[in-house]
Amino acid sequence: MARLVDRMSASLIGDFRMNAPPLARYRRALETYIDAKDNTLAPRIAEAFAADAVLTMSLATSAIAFPARTVGAAAIAKTLVTDFGAQYARCRTYYVCDSLEVQDGVLDAIPWLVVMREQASGALRVGHGVYRWTFDETPFVTHFDIHIARMDVVPDADGALLDALQAGLDYPWLAPAALHAHFTTLARDTPALAFIDAFSRPASAPDFSHPV
């Protein structure tokens, strides 16, 4: 059973880049996706996803909507980059984890956090959930499962709350301890951000399955 583990402490990041190029390629694919999504660069999706890749979505909230299943890199780029970017700005998506583990081409249950702004209303949106990635031997993404566990929408006309949340967070790789320290402090000290305590811990993984 193929298994690669990345412990993302400062001392080991350099080691795995030098000594484990296969794992570095998985990591690069995840970073390419974040760059495409957060910076509205739709062509970059083809750098990480197979042409016939499948995206599945599960939502535990009614605060945001996506199609349940999308097939093909071009369609995925439209859903997750072009259409998404038309609705949201100043988006930052974080991988909330201390390590990556690849087992038989699967990166399973990677918690994520998103902090962004609605284009139309200026409202702050904070959401979290879990990703599951499946790769071929290239490695290109063949299946991408996104679970959205929670999404809160809060008035933020001047963007000050968004600035406070994003300030000081490592991007796109965010250690759970750093997230917890930053968000619990803000929840305690800023009344308008009291809700953010619910996002101070990584989201729990659902039972992922691929539809037929």
Is 104 contained in some domain?
A: yes
Q: How far is CA 71 from CA 18, 26, 76, 86, 130, in A?
A: 35, 21, 7, 21, 20
Contact 112, 174 (CB under 8 A): no
Q: Compute the mean pLDDT over every residue in the chain, rounded to the nearest whole number.
A: 91
The 10s digit of each residue's pLDDT in 92-109 is 999 999 999 999 999 999
103-132 average pLDDT score: 97
Whole-prediction pTM: 0.88
Is 74 contained in some domain?
A: yes
pLDDT at 211: 45
- 126 alpha carbon, distance to own chain's centre: 12
- The residue with tokens 């996706």 is 33
Is 210 contained in some domain?
A: no
> Which residue range forms the structural domain that includes residue 151?
3-199
CATH for 70: 3.10.450.50
Is 132 contained in some domain?
A: yes
Cα separation, 20 vs 126, whole angstroms: 34
Q: How many domains does the chain have?
A: 1
pLDDT at 12: 40
pLDDT at 11: 40
The 10s digit of each residue's pLDDT in 153-202 is 999 999 999 999 999 899 999 999 999 999 999 999 999 999 999 999 99
The 10s digit of each residue's pLDDT in 7-65 is 544 444 444 344 434 789 999 999 999 999 999 999 999 999 999 999 999 999 999 99
Is 206 contained in some domain?
A: no
Give the model's confidence band at 3: pLDDT under 50 very low, under 70 low, under 90 confident, else very high.
low
Is 170 contained in some domain?
A: yes
Is 211 contained in some domain?
A: no
Is 207 contained in some domain?
A: no
pLDDT at 10: 41
pLDDT at 193: 98
